Amino acid sequence: MIFSSKRDLRLVTVRRGGTLTDDNHRRLAVWASACAEHVLHLFEDARPGDDRPRRAVELGRAWARGEITMGDAREAAFAAHAAAREVTGAANKAARAAGQAVSVAHMADHELGAAAYAIRAAMEAAPEAERAAAGRRECQRQRDRLPAEIRELVLDDQRLRNEKCWKVFNC
């Protein structure tokens, strides 16, 4: 479980009693989708023709553009997680990253799940002796692509939930 026992109101939209603006919620969804997409090939190499995780990433972006409903996004998340259950290793983590990314539509704090699973996918795909370095590179790559408007929020969320996220944000 990567969620804290108490919700961080910075990751709850204003209309639900938090402080997160709709624009920043959409930015989180787009960033999470980019994190997942970077490792998506690890799933696709293992399961050519299974488009459930890729569709989840695409629908995460579509939700951010206002083209689909949150319910549509949730269905895509369920499908990506079902795909993840059919594989192991890096492919599993890549599909989980996609499922977490599209889940940002439902709960913004899934953004960290997408990033963490993408880092774990990169680590598991690397040779044993290079796994830690691969994780650090993926973490830094993600941070380098954070939009300025959400950068501090995400970095603080990583700091606060790093223990729950397998300590993958030590980059």
- For the chain, the domains span 18-161
pLDDT at 55 over 90: yes
**What pLDDT, on the 0 to 100 scale, is given for residue 102?**
98
- In the predicted model, what is the mean pLDDT of residues 112-132? 98
Average pLDDT over residues 57-65: 98
The arithmetic mean of pLDDT across residues 11-28, rounded, is 97
User: What's the chain's average pLDDT?
Assistant: 96
Indicate if the pLDDT at residue 152 is higher than 90.
yes
pLDDT exceeds cutoff 70 at 53: yes
Contacting residues for 164 by C-beta, under 8 A, at least 6 apart: 1, 2, 3, 4
**Reported pTM:** 0.96
**139: how many CB neighbours lie within 10 A of its CB?**
22
pLDDT at 5: 72
